[in-house]
Structure 1
Amino acid sequence: MTFSPSKRPQLNRLTRTVTPSNIFPTKQEGVLIGGQIYWNPATVANPHGCIIGGSGAGKTQTLKAIAWEVSRLANVVIIDFHGDQELPGETCYHVNMKSNAGINPMRLNLDQEGGGPNLRAIELAILFKKTLTLGANQEAKLLDCFKHCYFRRGISQESHESWLKVPPNFSDLENLLEEMAGEDKEAEKLRLKLSTIFEYGIFNKSQPLNQTLTRWNLSKLPPQLQAIAGDALAQQLMNDHRLSGEHGIPTPKTVLFIDEAKELGHSKALDRIAADGRKYGLGLWVASQSSRHISKDVLTNTFTKLILPVDSSELPVTARTFRFSEEAIANLNPLESLVRFGKNANKVNVTPYYQRNTP
């Protein structure tokens, strides 16, 4: 369906939907969105999707429903910032001050052409600068400290075999900064800046492995720690899939789901998954209240887009970004969605998670 700049049809009044078989497959081949509309990760251009919807629009129920259905076709990993994405049969890792499970952002990418301790140290320094608003001197000091932590563990950029050793964690970083603080004022400032992170201790604990359906519950963490933890998990997923080589079949091996994507900001890890994940069998679904919370790279590389009702202040940017009329979006009711598969657009009543056939 083509929309002219002038008189655009109101999609909520469509009496007929065009559903080419290569885009909207049969139930046996795909994931039900709602009505007669299905999403098949094996037939679309890429296995990525995004959902935009305001408070009360049904965004969380929609993402949860798709994640549940996809879990029957592929491995699913959920980064849960609000603690409301629980699914039957999941393995849930609660990450907080008192939990046994942790996340190690210092885990290495073992790709010999694009990994190793030096690159990871740089990535972490950049991430911490953005998340914690570090100054240039603090960023440089933190970069040196990350590199030195790897060095102390006998891990060097030159020796690929050393990358297989147990990586350092933030206990190593905290100990190093404490040693340096007495004679190095910049190290002392950095130690104070990171004191909250050290106190929570989530980056000091062992990190469990992802299972077939895994939910990382980060809801008890402050926003800054959520951003670092979520970015680390997404980065690790991409690294692991890339290391396994090209996937070779259309259906993805794993799909990552993230509600409230704004908590990650414009994550470089998500940009990498959106750009290259399909090749290595990794899909990505993100949801947010505004398209402004999702990077341009992720939006550009996402084939499937669902628009639920949004706040009136978001109407102009949502209409421009997803090529729908403001009127069509404004007339949506909760759990009504405009669905775009590439150039094909339809309106659908979403079947929410609570109406799905779950145990």
Structure 2
Amino acid sequence: MDHFVDIHIGVDAKTGEPKIWSYPSVTNFNIIFLGGSGAGKTHTIHHMAANVYVRGTTLHVIDIKGDFAHSNFEATGLGHMLHPEDFNEIKFNYYQDGCSLNPLQVPRTEEGGGVVRTIEYVKELVKVFNPQSGPKQLNYLIEILKTVYTKSGIDHDDPETWARQSPTLIDVLGEIDLIFNALTGGMDTTTVADIFKAYGQAKNQAEKDIRKMKIDEEPNSAIEERVQEIRATLEDTLKGHAAKLINFDALTNRNGARSDWEHWSKETLYSLKAIIQGMVDSRLFTGNPSKPKQGKINRYDLTALSPAHQQVIMRIIASQVFAMGVMETKRNNAFNPKYPAHILIADEGKHIKEISVSPISPFNRIGTEGRGYGVGVWCGVQQPDQVTKDLLKNFATFFLLKTPDASYQEITKLFGVRPTLLKSLLPRENLLFGTGGPYSLVNHFR
């Protein structure tokens, strides 16, 4: 079974002829499923997803309501096509057993925009996570992100470094603490880091030696003597820093430019820390890394998250799916394939519109650029105004199901379908199927 084997959509309600479809026969990999509540939209997506998956495409399903587990496909009558082992469950929640996505992960291809685009993307993500984030906080964040990438050895102008392990929001928190303490103490961040490192190493060494010496049943006097030795070493290190910082030359001759952060507001920095701390505490960005698998139905279970956090995670998923397609296409030198390697499915398309204001948002990029990289997006929406204009212009396949009469005028305007055809639609019985030409009334997947 491959993509050159047609998928049987259903039977033309007027002629009785079978309606077939395949990816090689359409201009791009994007599909829209439009239908009101109870019209059979999810049922239709189930059938299309199962048929496309068994032909060799990796699926990435964003599941907001819990409609795309194996049991749901089985209930639709697709148990003979899909099995539990076909699914890779990626569950997000606010607990330790949940999965996470790292928004600081730098895409390893130039199309991802490198460090510069990733920093801009993280800034937008923080704004979505906390709408109260102000311009000053976000400007501080940009400078901090530049620093953590530099410390991780990742250089925007050297794409070979993009493959190195990316920093995380925990690294951002650490840098904020360094700057805050440097501002408070009037020191440079390197010195602050060295002081904290020296203290941490001394404390860890003392605790380790105490445990070992107690196990060996050494007397308390010997243990106390060992702790004093470690403390003396720490004191010598701190004295060295004091001598470097507090002397005539250091206090009177400040050669070189001051760091930008030396003029920062501690209050603004502290409020930024609270925002990033909230993101870390959610465990959505620093927990168990999600691991999508090739050749599987990767189900991103977002049912336990708030709507705002669902949208944040959706943005990251879309960005990473697009990056996967670009990387595989370049690695295999397989540009403009006849069928997709990856399909991103979002049944609740209204969320896509909320997070796709920019033409270069991840979902819009898949819709407009994905064809060349073997990536497509499927959107399920209840109303035509729940999808962005950029995506509307780039759907090659249309499944239009029953919608409320009040939406007919807008559907006619956007999709070019006659109102008389819309009136022929019955919930869960038929749909209007099109691939750029005239629509056919089809009794589908029955």
Query: TM-score range, shorter-chain basis?
Result: 0.7 to 0.9
Could you tell me which amino acid in structure 2 is paired with residue 42 of structure 1? P
Q: Tell me which of 277, 289, 292 is aligned to 1:209.
A: 292
Name the TM-score, length of structure 1 as normaliser. Answer: 0.83
Matches within 5 A, 1:307-322: 307-322=400-415
Equivalence for 1:257: 345
Distance 1:275 1:129, change over 3 A: same
Q: Tell me which of 312, 316, 321 is aligned to 1:232.
A: 316
Could you tell me which amino acid in structure 2 is paired with residue 239 of structure 1? A
Could you tell me which amino acid in structure 2 is paired with residue 215 of structure 1? R
Could you tell me which amino acid in structure 2 is paired with residue 240 of structure 1? M
Post-superposition Cα deviations, 1:146-167, rounded to whole Å, max 9, x if no partner, equal 3333223222213333212111
Distance 1:170 1:273, change over 3 A: same
Equivalence for 1:300: 393
Equivalence for 1:148: 147
Shift of 1:145: 3.0
**Contact preservation (8 Å) 2:31, 2:397:** yes
Distance 1:172 1:306, change over 3 A: same
1:33 paired with 2:9, answer yes
Shift of 1:113: 6.2
Distance 1:30 1:105, change over 3 A: farther
Could you tell me which amino acid in structure 1 is paired with residue 8 of structure 2? L
Paired with 2:418 and 2:51, the residues of 1 have a C-alpha distance of 30
Matches within 5 A, 1:1-359: 29-35=5-11, 36-73=18-55, 74-87=57-70, 88=83, 89-98=86-95, 99-112=97-110, 114-130=112-128, 132-133=130-131, 134-180=133-179, 184-205=266-287, 206-213=289-296, 214-243=298-327, 244-245=329-330, 246-264=334-352, 265-267=354-356, 268-335=361-428, 336-351=430-445
Shift of 1:341: 0.9
Distance 1:157 1:313, change over 3 A: same
Distance 1:114 1:203, change over 3 A: closer
Q: CA RMSD in A?
A: 2.3
Shift of 1:131: 5.5
**Contact preservation (8 Å) 1:48, 1:285:** yes
Distance 1:326 1:142, change over 3 A: farther
Paired with 1:208 and 1:257, the residues of 2 have a C-alpha distance of 17
Paired with 1:330 and 1:172, the residues of 2 have a C-alpha distance of 57
- Structure 1's unaligned 5+ residue stretches are 1-26
Higher mean C-alpha deviation, range 52-61 or range 131-140: 131-140
Distance 1:181 1:259, change over 3 A: farther
Higher mean C-alpha deviation, range 181-190 or range 275-284: 181-190
SS state at 1:287 partner: strand
**Contact preservation (8 Å) 2:4, 2:24:** no
Could you tell me which amino acid in structure 1 is paired with residue 367 of structure 2? A
Paired with 2:415 and 2:405, the residues of 1 have a C-alpha distance of 16
Shift of 1:100: 4.4
SS state at 1:42 partner: helix
Paired with 1:79 and 1:300, the residues of 2 have a C-alpha distance of 22
Shift of 1:38: 2.3
Paired with 1:28 and 1:247, the residues of 2 have a C-alpha distance of 18
**Contact preservation (8 Å) 1:266, 1:293:** no
- Structure 2's unaligned 5+ residue stretches are 12-17, 71-82, 184-265
Distance 1:251 1:194, change over 3 A: same
Shift of 1:210: 2.5
Paired with 2:295 and 2:169, the residues of 1 have a C-alpha distance of 28
**Contact preservation (8 Å) 1:126, 1:139:** no
Larger Rg: 2
Aligned residue-pair number? 326
Post-superposition Cα deviations, 1:177-210, rounded to whole Å, max 9, x if no partner, equal 4555676222222333445432221210223133
Distance 1:60 1:113, change over 3 A: closer
Could you tell me which amino acid in structure 1 is paired with residue 138 of structure 2? E
Equivalence for 1:19: none
Name the TM-score, length of structure 2 as normaliser. Answer: 0.68
Could you tell me which amino acid in structure 2 is paired with residue 83 of structure 1? G
Paired with 2:433 and 2:403, the residues of 1 have a C-alpha distance of 14
Could you tell me which amino acid in structure 1 is paired with residue 390 of structure 2? D
Paired with 1:113 and 1:229, the residues of 2 have a C-alpha distance of 21
**Contact preservation (8 Å) 2:91, 2:302:** yes
Equivalence for 2:215: none
**Contact preservation (8 Å) 2:63, 2:347:** yes
Shift of 1:287: 0.7
Paired with 1:132 and 1:341, the residues of 2 have a C-alpha distance of 40
Paired with 2:410 and 2:135, the residues of 1 have a C-alpha distance of 34
**Contact preservation (8 Å) 1:117, 1:157:** yes
Identify, as 1 or 2, the structure richer in helix: 2
Distance 1:178 1:287, change over 3 A: farther
